A and B are shown apart, each in its own frame.
Chain A
């Protein structure tokens, strides 16, 4: 008669997730598939348009080639304007995001209503697309780069402010306590305690947003808010596709350049 050495292992089974979690995951996949299927069935697509898509595409590129070299001058001027819009917009956004970020950081502002107010500002800023901000500011300040700059600035507050507040909340309390113990006031604690700690994060947020804003400011001109989008809009409305090609090439090169600059600065300085 043999004695079993160990309990039979066959009935034991290991599962990585609890039943509730598995159900939730299954529900997620199910919802995704259902949403996709419903969307595919109900979206209105005109199939006749698809038949000649390759021809239209070929026609498009045929009209784009050769690019109109004479349009290079106006394009470059508009490009400089776009760069100014993106840079000024980012700076303005930072200037507005810092005070709101201070309000949003729970360790600096121990007041829930103020924190929530700041969060509300961030969410509003992010939920409204930069083109919509541009529409609103064009209605207020008229067409031109001023509307574009303000649109970029208001759109960026949410992103920069949220990340700045998170950086503030992560700063270590040691040096701040030391400053407070030495009798430093609130402003001194901010400038000498928090700022040195969040400075790298702050500039990296600024660079990151600047990179995004260059892409965004390139389209603002479509609604009249200045920059290279105006040149694009003019060329599109006149169906000068060879000029469109010049503008697109200019946008592409400035975006790639900005990305290279950001990577270089981040590696060197931060």
Chain B
């Protein structure tokens, strides 16, 4: 008697896992009050909402233009200043260059910068330095420092120490070792992070206005609260176009530095 051979035996633990996942979805959905009626009424609202959005209304073009420009300014300044601050912080957090009593506090600082969403940081800065673009810039600087310093430290930890040693063997000082031995190895990846962070800052700079941090977000939120949904759609189209253009530019920059 030969046992029937199944090529793919049922994987009971995995099936149990999927079942638990399904149970969780049902449980969580019910605690959050997801019922079919809400979807049904929502779809009805959605139809009217979409009808009010079309056609997009570009009649306040000057307002949109100045908002977008301010968002771009916020993103550019925050990225550049963020990078300038993140460079030394990243070096201090790299465990192959620095002793542990330096890396641990630096890593804590990076974790603190990363753990709050830029919008929340923007709220605090709006309170501290008032409404306007500067609060948005400061919030995005904090986010940029957290992101770039972390990735930069990781990139430095992956470099080949042979080149560092070779530079050191010529009698170079610490700064020369950094400039000649470390930076050339991490520059291409660094440009990658920087352009990625610029994209990310652009996205967020369109949002900090919701909490008073300047840029197009304030215009967007005002239009939304006035139920001018056609203006909202126009602003969204401009934002998406700007972000896509920025992605093309940053892709070009990454290719140049490959």
A interface with B by C-beta (< 8 Å):
21, 24-25, 28, 32, 35-36, 39-40, 42-46, 49-50, 53, 56-57, 60, 81, 84-85, 87-88, 91, 123-124, 127-129, 131-132, 135-136, 139-142, 144-146, 149, 192, 215-216, 218-219, 222-223, 226, 232, 236, 248, 251-252, 255-256, 259
B128 touching A53 by the CB < 8 A rule?
Answer: yes
Asked if B45 CB lies within 8 Å of chain A CBs, one says yes
Using known A-B contacts A21-B256, A127-B244, determine if residue A49 contacts B49 with beta carbons closer than 8 Å. no
Main secondary structure of the interface of B (DSSP, over half): helix
B116's contact among A28, A36, A252, by CB below 8 Å, is which? A252
Give the distance in Å from the alpha carbon of A236 to the alpha carbon of B120 in the complex. Answer: 11
A219 touching B253 by the CB < 8 A rule?
Answer: no
Main secondary structure of the interface of A (DSSP, over half): helix
Interface size on B, residues (CB 8 A): 61
Residues from 29 to 52 in B contacting A, C-beta threshold 8 Å: 29, 31-34, 38-39, 42-43, 45-46, 49
Nearest B-chain residue to A33, judged by Cβ: B80
Give the distance in Å from the alpha carbon of A77 to the alpha carbon of B221 in the complex. Answer: 28
B115 touching A132 by the CB < 8 A rule?
Answer: no
Using known A-B contacts A36-B76, A39-B73, A140-B49, determine if residue A60 contacts B128 with beta carbons closer than 8 Å. yes
> What's the nearest-Cβ distance from chain A to residue B64, in Å?
15
Asked if B89 CB lies within 8 Å of chain A CBs, one says no
With A39-B76, A232-B120 given, name 11 new contacts (CB 8 A): A21-B256, A25-B256, A43-B77, A60-B127, A127-B243, A142-B38, A146-B34, A215-B115, A219-B120, A236-B123, A251-B120
> What's the nearest-Cβ distance from chain B to residue A109, in Å?
23
> What's the nearest-Cβ distance from chain B to residue A178, in Å?
11
> What's the nearest-Cβ distance from chain A to residue B77, in Å?
5
Give the distance in Å from the alpha carbon of A85 to the alpha carbon of B69 in the complex. Answer: 34
B116 touching A124 by the CB < 8 A rule?
Answer: no
Nearest 4 CB-CB pairs, A to B? A49-B130, A141-B42, A39-B73, A140-B46
B70 touching A43 by the CB < 8 A rule?
Answer: yes
